[in-house]
Amino acid sequence: MRPPFRSATAGNEPLKTLDFLFQRLIKAAFVVLGVVILNFLLIHLAPGDPAAVMAGEAGAGDEKFIAQLRAQFGLDQPLWWQLVTYLGNVLTGDLGFSYRNNVPVAELIMERLPATLLLTASAFLFSLLLGVVLGVLAAYKRGTLADSLIMTGALIFYATPLFWVALMAVLVFSIHLDWLPPFDMESIGADYTGWARFADIAYHLILPTVTLGLFFTALYTRLTRASMLEVMSLDFVKTARAKGVPKARIIRRHVLRNAVLPVFTFASIQAGQLVGGAVLTETVFAWPGIGRLMFDALLQRDYPVLLGVFLVTAAVVVTVNLVADLLYRIVDPRIEAAG
């Protein structure tokens, strides 16, 4: 007699995913709220008075003018009231007004965000793809010259600071060899449209992408190699060998998918760091993204812009993680059932 095939959780999965999504969205909202409040308080704890900075640059240092500026931007109100007002405004989509640029912060960020997303997404894909390929290759050729070369290269880029790589890349590929543009996202004054503009941007993208991505490539290479070697020692790989499956197919069909799971987890966490790394890259390559916007706002004590950038970055990181978790449930069928 055979019992019917029915596992304990079968049939429940779509609802479980819904539960999961619901819980995660609530958590995500709280995370973003926490980031906003924390940043707001931290910024006001830091020394430096934006009104004084602005007045000083305007050449007028008298108390009356500064007080007027404070009143204009609501800086004379108690801190808790400023926070409540700010949160209320954020909920309605109003991120405030830049002290310096005299434009709404939301507008400023939306103008710069695509450039940053383009750079980070390119760097992310570049590092993940190249890292996994090199890691697989190193594991497959374990103990050979190819393995040693790949791992030495990975170690070098893992150990070298990002800004140094960036400066050297500009020096070698732009100044000495003149192969690639050293800064900016488009050729100034060229006014390309359509495909020509696309190609121009892609051309400008190469150096910052590779620079930003190399550290992460090194990381993924090492991680993939270690993970591959671990999976290769598991029982089911022996089963596959006992079935007469050739080695290349074992790597492709059995090892790879299992081995990239931890790499995938790691990458989803690292995606947030990539946005942070972009600040440096954007500054070196004069890339018109929010990294540079943040850097400038910091020097100018432009609180609304700073807070806006923090909020948007946090939202991007939280979204990326949420998407990664959902994807993970697709890549690994066991997750969905475990809930």
Q: Which residues bind another protein (CB under 8 A)?
A: 2-5, 7-10, 12, 15-16, 18-20, 22-23, 234-236, 238-246, 249, 253-254, 257-258, 331-334, 337, 339
The beta-carbon contacts of 327-331 under 8 Å, at least 24 apart in sequence, are 327/264, 328/261, 328/264, 328/265, 328/268, 329/17, 329/20, 331/257, 331/261, 331/264
Residue 1 CB, shortest distance to another protein, in Å, is 10
CA distance 219 to 40: 33
DSSP letter string over 161-176? -HHHHHHHHIIIIIII
- Which of residues 68 and 258 has its CB atom nearest to another protein in the complex? 258
Residue 324 CB, shortest distance to another protein, in Å, is 17
For CA atoms 152, 153, 156, 157, give the dihedral sign: negative
- Which of residues 64 and 243 has its CB atom nearest to another protein in the complex? 243
How many Cβ atoms sit within 10 Å of the Cβ of residue 309?
27
- Which of residues 254 and 301 has its CB atom nearest to another protein in the complex? 254
How many Cβ atoms sit within 10 Å of the Cβ of residue 64?
9
Residue 226 CB, shortest distance to another protein, in Å, is 19
Residue 214 CB, shortest distance to another protein, in Å, is 30
- Which of residues 113 and 324 has its CB atom nearest to another protein in the complex? 324
Residue 250 CB, shortest distance to another protein, in Å, is 10
CA distance 310 to 305: 9
- Which of residues 26 and 199 has its CB atom nearest to another protein in the complex? 26
- Which of residues 129 and 330 has its CB atom nearest to another protein in the complex? 330
In single-letter form, the type of residue at position 80 comes to W
- Which of residues 56 and 246 has its CB atom nearest to another protein in the complex? 246
CA distance 56 to 22: 50
In single-letter form, the type of residue at position 312 comes to V
CB 287 within 8 A of CB 208: yes
Residue 104 CB, shortest distance to another protein, in Å, is 37
Residue 87 CB, shortest distance to another protein, in Å, is 27
